Amino acid sequence: MEVIRNHVISFPIDNESDIGICRRKGVNLANKMGFDKVKSGEIAILISELGTNVLKHGGGKGKIVISQYENGGDNKAIEIWCCDSGNGIIDYHKSLTDGISNTKTLGIGLGTISRFSDKIEIDPEISTEFSQNFFSDKSDFSHCIRLLKWIPSKNRICVNKNLISGAASRCHPGESLNGDAYLVNHVNHDLTIVAVIDGLGHGADANKASAIAKEQILQNSELPLDNLMKQVHNSLRGTRGTTLGLAKINTETNKLLFSGIGNIESFIISREGKKNLLSFGGIMGHNMRTPRVFEFDFNPGDSLCMYSDGITTRWRHDDVTWSDPPQKNAEHILNKYSRINDDATILIISYTA
């Protein structure tokens, strides 16, 4: 049986704000797939419970991966993986009973997760390709749970199946909060907005600034790009501020719009070679120039790469095989070329033929 996963999004879970962002992205995908409001609400609860369990029971560190899942037939589901570094579920069947908990909590999480899921698996086998693309850091995690929630075929809604994303990010060594952030948001089946955000400095203040910027982009993704830049800028007043690279990809017109403030490096790889995307100097929330929006061709076979200054510029684009999975390339670049004294993030979007 052939398994197809599209629109895969991956989230590290290290603090409460990560859960909120993950929940919103998951619900956004569920809505676009055609889940009604009730079922989307149940998916929001599932993601919240999984993330909360990571922080309370799972060693405080984990990862949630969400995708649109097809099994080769007419069925389609939202698939949610959650891996953590905890001790696992000692007695799974007993834990399904509300009131059972290993800590001083209500103990209703796993029972809720089971009721709202159509399928639940504890520590299932992960296919080699899926593991390499989205769980190459699985050695950091000791246990996983996998959920499926099916959608009737009559309710399906297409999303942007032509774009494949990969991202890798880590915080400044010695810090627990990442001052960088990134996002991939499918506004509709043709339009996708992507961003890399770098909060100035590192630690809690940088994390707060990048989280605010990310929240504003997710909530206002349908704005024209220059207006969205202004919205983010105004929302960051009083914070440490960020740099930002922001792009909108339209796979109906094969165009990419880009606007950037600060030292987020961005470029397009196409058959003609590398094309750098221009960012202007400044700090979002402090001294942003009037944003300018540049338009580029973005055709099947092209890739967009964006990264924060925690990635050194000493690497060459022709050292990378751009036909490889974006996640594989992102993790390779992060591991090999990130600086030891900063947060680091890289995002790659490939437009499939």
Q: What is the pLDDT of residues 209-229, one digit of tens each?
A: 999 999 889 878 888 999 999
Structure tokens at 80: 């949610």
Report how far apart the first and last C-alpha atoms of the chain are (Å, whole number).
Answer: 24
What's the rounded Cα separation, in Å, for the pair 257 and 57?
43
| Strand (E) or helix (H) holding 17 | helix 16-33
Is there a contact between 166 and 329 (Cβ–Cβ < 8 Å)? yes
**What is the model's pLDDT at position 153?**
52
Domains of the chain are 4-155 (3.30.565.10), 163-351 (3.60.40.10)
The per-residue pLDDT for range 67-104, each reduced to its tens digit, is 988 876 557 899 999 998 877 554 444 444 444 444 44
**What is the model's pLDDT at position 93?**
46
Cα 155 → chain centroid: 25
In tens digits, the chain (353 residues) has pLDDT values of 567 888 888 888 989 999 999 999 999 898 888 888 888 999 999 999 999 988 988 888 889 999 988 876 557 899 999 998 877 554 444 444 444 444 443 333 567 788 888 889 988 887 777 777 777 665 667 788 999 998 865 555 556 789 999 999 999 988 889 999 999 988 877 899 999 999 999 899 999 999 999 988 987 888 899 999 999 999 999 999 999 999 999 999 999 999 999 999 999 999 999 999 999 999 999 999 899 999 999 999 999 999 999 999 888 898 899 999 999 999 999 999 999 899 999 999 999 96
- Residues across the chain: 353
What's the rounded Cα separation, in Å, for the pair 178 and 176?
7
**CA-to-CA separations, 122 to 47, 136, 142, in angstroms, rounded:** 16, 19, 12
Residue tagged 């929630």 (tokens): 149
Residue tagged 């983010």 (tokens): 232
Is there a contact between 223 and 190 (Cβ–Cβ < 8 Å)? no
Is there a contact between 304 and 256 (Cβ–Cβ < 8 Å)? yes
What's the rounded Cα separation, in Å, for the pair 63 and 14?
8
Tell me the sheet residues that pair with 120. Answer: 147
Which conformational region is residue 175 in: left (phi greater than 0), alpha (psi within -120 to 50 degrees), or beta? beta
Sign of CA dihedral 329, 335, 340, 344: positive
**What is the model's pLDDT at position 4?**
80
Structure tokens at 221: 């993704």
